[in-house]
Amino acid sequence: MAIINQATKELQVKIVYYGTALGGKTTNLVQIHDHVQTAEGQKGKLVSLATSSDRTLFFDFLPIEAMAIKGFKTKFQLYTVPGQVIYNTTRQLVLRGVDGIVFVADSQYEKMEENVKSFQNLEENLRSLNLSLSDIPYVLQYNKRDLPNAAPIEYMEFLLNNREQQVPSFPACASKCEGVFETLNMITRMLLHKFINQNLSKAA
């Protein structure tokens, strides 16, 4: 979980981008890295542990600092997981210490079954870490909305956001950087509100 260093007034938070293979998780991080407006030194290098064909092998990693938070230096560490089914052990490793999740769903009709399976896999992997989606803030991103075979948002909501408590969801076209920052801002805001509320309830 997030670590806080009272001595240096630093808060470090881990956000994991999860979803099917070739769904656009790495593209989200690449777009954030390329387009985020930061002060000098507040954006780290994007590290990709990928195969020769650019498929994520272990994870991608991007450290970045938020500008608008006063009082604490708030550092976000963004990770992706490999989407391919065979790399489940790796996904479990990357989820260790996760604070927030962005589930990147592929909007193409033929990917719906994979989306649902990947979401179920996320729940299983969280269970193996004694976590659940009711404890961890998460948002949904419906990526590749520009493709002609994209399923309607309502259908994707029915498949992936059909729970007692619905979470924010965003249509996106990550390759054009559309919806990428909206998604990131929502998950960071949800995370910080959760931490602040936890703190308030402890103080009460």
Partner 1 sequence: MATLPQLIEEDIEAMNRALDELLARSEACAALIIDKGGFLITQTVHARQFDLVTLAALSAASFAATQGIANLVSETNFTSIYQQGEIHSLLVINIDEHCLLTVVFPAQVSVGAVKYFAAATVKQVANQLQKATQRNPTARLDLSLINMAETGPLFRKKTA
CB atoms under 10 Å from CB of 42, counted, come to: 15
Q: Cα(55)–Cα(21) distance, rounded to whole angstroms?
A: 8
Angle (CA) 81-194-31 rounded to 5° is: 40
* Closest alpha carbon to 99 in 204, 202, 193: 193
Q: Binders of partner 1 among 97-116, rule CB under 8 A?
A: 97-98
Nearer to partner 1, 134 or 162 (CB): 134
Nearer to partner 1, 51 or 198 (CB): 198
Q: Binders of partner 1 among 135-154, rule CB under 8 A?
A: none
The count of chain residues that interact with partner 1, using the rule CB under 8 A, is 59
Nearer to partner 1, 85 or 196 (CB): 196
Nearest-10 Cα torsion for 179, 180, 186, 189: -150
What SS3 class is residue 13? Answer: strand
Binding site for partner 1 (CB under 8 A): 1-9, 11-12, 14, 32, 35-37, 44-45, 47, 58-59, 61, 63-64, 66-72, 74-75, 77, 79, 89-90, 93-94, 96-98, 129-131, 177, 181, 184-185, 188-189, 192-193, 195-196, 198-199, 202-203
